[in-house]
Structure 1
């Protein structure tokens, strides 16, 4: 079972944040989430900033000048989900390369189809176990499902590019 701090830490990291802050009260970096005891009450994602005239950092809600924007757009959410699929689920390039009957794009379609139009026999990859195809909740498709679909499309594109490069070699 995951500690809630680990889940929050992963989410913050995936979106480019350095920690949490509570305006006027405290801030904590990713290594010490909720050290203040707030347990997330009133906390917002924050950035690490060097304190003027010091070599110490603090967490603030103001993005430092020149810092990259957090990955909150669709492409960033998809990239973070794909990274999660690889790191946590083990869906590596080797696994994906074995999906030669377009199972990855079929799975992506499964996550995109509205529930009232859903016919799992038409889009569900026949070689996959349904346990891996948990949908995000009602209504379908929802944001979580669309992010998964995008990550599966990215995996299929990568697989096709590797196959093309292998053929050319």
Structure 2
């Protein structure tokens, strides 16, 4: 086992714990007058990488995919019913959607959310069109692309079975 592997083994903690540890270390070092910029770089590095090397953005896509399965019921078996690019169409709608905006409603004297219109290529019922911020839309798009890749892989594995 290499030294790098030993170090990785010792650092197998969840992302939240790792971020808490890094934050505490930064605060203590700053209290002793350590260069603030060095710790800003460290904090950004920890923030952008998880202990297993997956970026925070990659983890967000995997988490969204898991949420789709567990909370929405979009299981692999459900996804296997698609075959005409529905998952890809939905992903492209989210990827290309402008983000929702908080706008002032003069009539109601309150803030409201402006949501972009549902694209014509949206493959499902209008009630499932739920755009959010640019980042959230891209995470949803990524999770839908992941679901389509997994569907393709399952279909190929079934064709190869004896």
The TM-score bracket by the shorter chain reads 0.5 to 0.7
Which residue matches 2:103?
A: none
| Of 62, 85, 90, the match for 1:107 | 90
| Contact 1:135–1:145 (Cα < 8 Å) also in 2 | yes
Distance (whole Å) between structure 2 residues aligned to residue 145 and residue 130 of structure 1: 16
| Of 139, 147, 150, the match for 1:155 | 147
- Tell me, which stretches of 5 or more residues in structure 1 are unaligned? 1-14, 24-62
- Tell me, which stretches of 5 or more residues in structure 2 are unaligned? 1-13, 25-45, 100-115
| Contact 1:16–1:70 (Cα < 8 Å) also in 2 | no
The 3 A distance-change label for structure 1 pair 165 and 135 is same
| Runs of at least 4 residues off by over 4 Å | 18-23, 69-72, 116-119
Which residue matches 2:125?
A: 129
Secondary structure of the residue aligned to 1:135 is coil
Which residue matches 2:16?
A: 17
Q: How does 1:158-169 map onto structure 2 within 5 Å?
A: 158-169=150-161
The 3 A distance-change label for structure 1 pair 120 and 70 is same
The higher radius of gyration belongs to 2
| Contact 2:97–2:131 (Cα < 8 Å) also in 1 | no
Over aligned residues, Cα RMSD in angstroms? 3.1
Distance (whole Å) between structure 2 residues aligned to residue 143 and residue 69 of structure 1: 22
Question: Which structure dedicates a bigger proportion of its chain to helix?
Answer: 2
What are the Cα deviations for residues 13-40 of structure 1, in whole angstroms up to 9, with x where unaligned?
xx732497996xxxxxxxxxxxxxxxxx
Distance (whole Å) between structure 1 residues aligned to residue 53 and residue 60 of structure 2: 10
Which residue matches 1:10?
A: none
Distance (whole Å) between structure 2 residues aligned to residue 72 and residue 133 of structure 1: 27
Secondary structure of the residue aligned to 1:99 is coil
